[in-house]
Structure 1
Amino acid sequence: MGTATVAAVVGVVGTLLSALLTQRAADRSRQREQERAEELWERRSEALELRACYVALNTVARHYLAALTDQLHALDRETDLPSVRQRLTAARDQHREVYAEAQMRLPERVLGPAATVSHDLGALYGMVRRLDDGTARPGESPAAVERGIDALWERLREMRRQMRADLGAARADSGR
């Protein structure tokens, strides 16, 4: 075999290897781009799920607190009590369900305020039910429930501020 043949073979092999290496580099680049796109989609999906969890928790907590308020006002009106009691029980049950899911998803900085709201809602529920049943404990009165409701609205606002900050909405509010 002559030098010219070896040179030709080496040239052909080099050309083939160059094309192969170029193809492999392009494949790796496409694979990395696909992985980046999948990661971005996953992060967006997680953010949307967290946002939906925040919206649901905020909504059911507000409904629960509104149902407690309605129950407090209905204590003076015997005729409304059965439907108001039923609405309160449904609001409590819905809150429990959404809060149970939220406990598995929320970061600690949001879970703390959410746990406080949930605990306080439960405490107010117990107080309202005891007032309704005529078994109120010392210090439990409609006025005490009303003060508790007013304080709980502020705790709900704090929970919502934490949620919004976690979602980045606070940055949008400040113009950043």
Structure 2
Amino acid sequence: MGTATLVAVVGVVGTLLSALLTQRAADRGRRREQQRAEELWERRSEALELRACYVAVNTAARHYLAALTDVLHALGRETELPSVRQRLTAARDQHREVYAEAQMRLPDRVLGPAATVSHQLGALYGMVRRLDDGMPGPGDSPAAVQRDIDALWERLREMRRAMRADLGAARSDSGR
């Protein structure tokens, strides 16, 4: 009878331990799956935030360049200048704000082209303002501004290509 009781106790303990070990393994699996889901959500959120930053930088730079172009075309037409100056100031302020945030977020492979665009926008702004103020510097002329505007549109395209490549969007264009 002692052996039979021992065998019964061992059987019950084995059954209980088996259920306990199965439950622990299932809990570990659920925790791992939850952790994977959280990591995936975090990566997706970061990708969406980066994409939003890219869109903001691209949009702000395009608006800034368009405002510079508007001022160039309005030079000599005093009635138009106040409104285009105001748009230029707003576009410049917006670009500065967006670019300041981008400097903290963009990877170096995208920040390089964005910095080039930002620097060239600032240089172009200075030239346009000097022309608008009637105090052009050496090399400042409407033709020089137009040449720089045309070149800057190409820099914007390069920046946008770097952004798209970083987001993986360029891979979908490879067959075109």
The equivalent of 1:82 in structure 2 is: 82
1:29-68 correspondence to structure 2 within 5 Å: 29-68=29-68
Structure 2 portions without partners, runs of 5+: none
**What is the CA-CA distance between 1:136 and the residue it aligns to?**
1.0
**What is the CA-CA distance between 1:134 and the residue it aligns to?**
1.1
With normalisation by structure 1, the TM-score equals 0.98
Could you list the per-position Cα deviations for residues 14-60 of structure 1 after superposition, in whole angstroms to 9, with x for gaps in the alignment?
11010000000000000000000000000000000000000111001
The equivalent of 2:117 in structure 1 is: 117
**Which residue identity lines up with residue 142 of structure 1 in the other structure?**
P
The equivalent of 2:103 in structure 1 is: 103
The equivalent of 2:141 in structure 1 is: 141
SS at match of 1:123: helix
**Which residue identity lines up with residue 22 of structure 1 in the other structure?**
T
Structure 1 portions without partners, runs of 5+: none
How many residue pairs get aligned? The number is: 176
**Using the alignment, how far apart are the partners of 1:53 and 1:107 within structure 2?**
12
Could you list the per-position Cα deviations for residues 50-86 of structure 1 after superposition, in whole angstroms to 9, with x for gaps in the alignment?
0000011100100000000000011021100011000
With normalisation by structure 2, the TM-score equals 0.98
**Using the alignment, how far apart are the partners of 1:35 and 1:45 within structure 2?**
15
The equivalent of 2:155 in structure 1 is: 155
Report the aligned-residue RMSD.
1.1
The equivalent of 1:132 in structure 2 is: 132
Of all paired residues, the percent bearing the same amino acid is 89
**Using the alignment, how far apart are the partners of 1:64 and 1:145 within structure 2?**
14
